Amino acid sequence: MSRTLRYLTVLLLLFACSGKEKPLTPDTSDGNGQQEKPLLSDDKFGADINPTGNPIGGGEGYNRLLDPSEYLVTNRMELFDALQFAGTNQIVYIVDTARIDLTGHQNIAIRGGVTLASGRGKPGSQGALLYSNQLETLPLFVATGPNIR
């Protein structure tokens, strides 16, 4: 191939590839020509997209505080019993001052619709402490249905 022909080929390739580049974005069409809104923006993910306005996990500024109701828990056995029997729209409330050692346990099931709560977010309360002294605890809790809080 002559030098001139190679030069023209390179110029042609550069010209063909030098068009205005489009940003890479996911296809959000639904297959029927309708555009769907993306679920997440490119710059927000994780806790940044929390739509509730409440801190995730409670704490200062949390305003969806729950009072003890159906199941009031003070120790590990009460926690296991409450989680076994609690049903949809029921609250398993761990006393704010409780310290529950879950060492040796993992995959503790929480049924769909159940709320596991304590007093984190109440003035002067850090809420209960659930802990394990072993490394292999993942997952400590398992969601076995939807709408778990």
102 — pLDDT class (breaks 50, 70, 90): very high
What per-residue confidence (pLDDT) applies to 24? 46
45 — pLDDT class (breaks 50, 70, 90): low
> Is residue 76 over pLDDT 60?
yes
Query: What's the 3-state SS for 94-127?
Result: ECCCCEEECCCCCCEEECCCCEEECCECECCCCC
Asked whether 71 and 91 are in contact (CB, 8 A), the reply is yes
121 — pLDDT class (breaks 50, 70, 90): confident
In a domain, 46, yes or no: no
| Count of domains observed in the chain | 1
Q: What is the mean pLDDT of residues 91-109?
A: 95
In a domain, 33, yes or no: no
Q: Mean pLDDT score of the chain, rounded to an integer?
A: 78
Asked whether 92 and 118 are in contact (CB, 8 A), the reply is no
Q: Alpha-carbon distance 2 to 91, whole Å?
A: 81
In a domain, 92, yes or no: yes
What per-residue confidence (pLDDT) applies to 124? 84
Residues in the chain, how many? 149
This prediction's pTM: 0.60
> Is residue 50 over pLDDT 80?
no
Which pair of structure tokens corresponds to residue 99? 């310290």
> Is residue 72 over pLDDT 90?
yes
> Is residue 52 over pLDDT 70?
yes
In a domain, 114, yes or no: yes
What per-residue confidence (pLDDT) applies to 39? 54
Q: Alpha-carbon distance 100 to 128, whole Å?
A: 8
Q: What is the mean pLDDT of residues 103-129?
A: 91
What per-residue confidence (pLDDT) applies to 14? 57
Q: What is the pLDDT of residues 3-36, one digit of tens each?
A: 666 665 655 555 555 555 544 455 555 556 555 5
Q: Which domain holds residue 102?
A: 65-149
In a domain, 60, yes or no: no
